[in-house]
Structure 1
Amino acid sequence: MRVIAATMLLAITYQLAVAQDGVAGIQEANTKVRGYFDVGCNLMYAVGAILGLIGAVRVYQKWSNGHPDTGSTAAAWFGSCVFLVVVATVLKSFFGI
């Protein structure tokens, strides 16, 4: 009877120790992700700026060559840049980091 009680006590103690390590791991991951959040948002802004420059050159090339679909190309490039900036801004305001 004592052996069974000791075994159960050991199993419960082991489970509590493992559960505490899991909580500590989740908290550490949360801290690391929050640390990279601002860097990620700034990266999204930079990618949006680069896409804007590339898009401006591509639209100018189409416009100067007289392509009829210049307006739709400009809208697509502009929309992708606006999307990246809006996503980064919404993530910052939503998560409040």
Structure 2
Amino acid sequence: AEKRSAWMALAYQVGPDAWKGSNPDIEIPQEEKNEYYVNHSCDGNAWYQNDDTLVAMRDIAEGEEIAYDYALTESDPSWMLADCCLCGRSACRG
């Protein structure tokens, strides 16, 4: 249960009952997981084009954090971040 909980913290939803993310049964250092390098923003600069392809929605400056709106990959309309959003964007729902 603990392993699944840790996996769900970084997984993203791709269907009503389907999520993607690094396989929780394979020990991978967190810094080697792709999802470790993408963060949330209510006004993200990237989007999942399909289940596996993250694409830029605009030019991303060197050193700028890559972020997408986590809510856009969730099918539950009442879904909220576990913690209050602190993205600081003008469109922030936090």
Is the TM-score greater than 0.5? Answer: no
Q: TM-score, normalised by structure 1?
A: 0.23
Question: Could you tell me the TM-score, scaled by structure 2's length?
Answer: 0.23
Larger Rg belongs to: 1
Taking CA–CA contacts closer than 8 Å with sequence separation of 6 or more, which of the two structures ends up with the larger relative contact order? Answer: 1
Query: More strand per residue: 1 or 2?
Result: 2
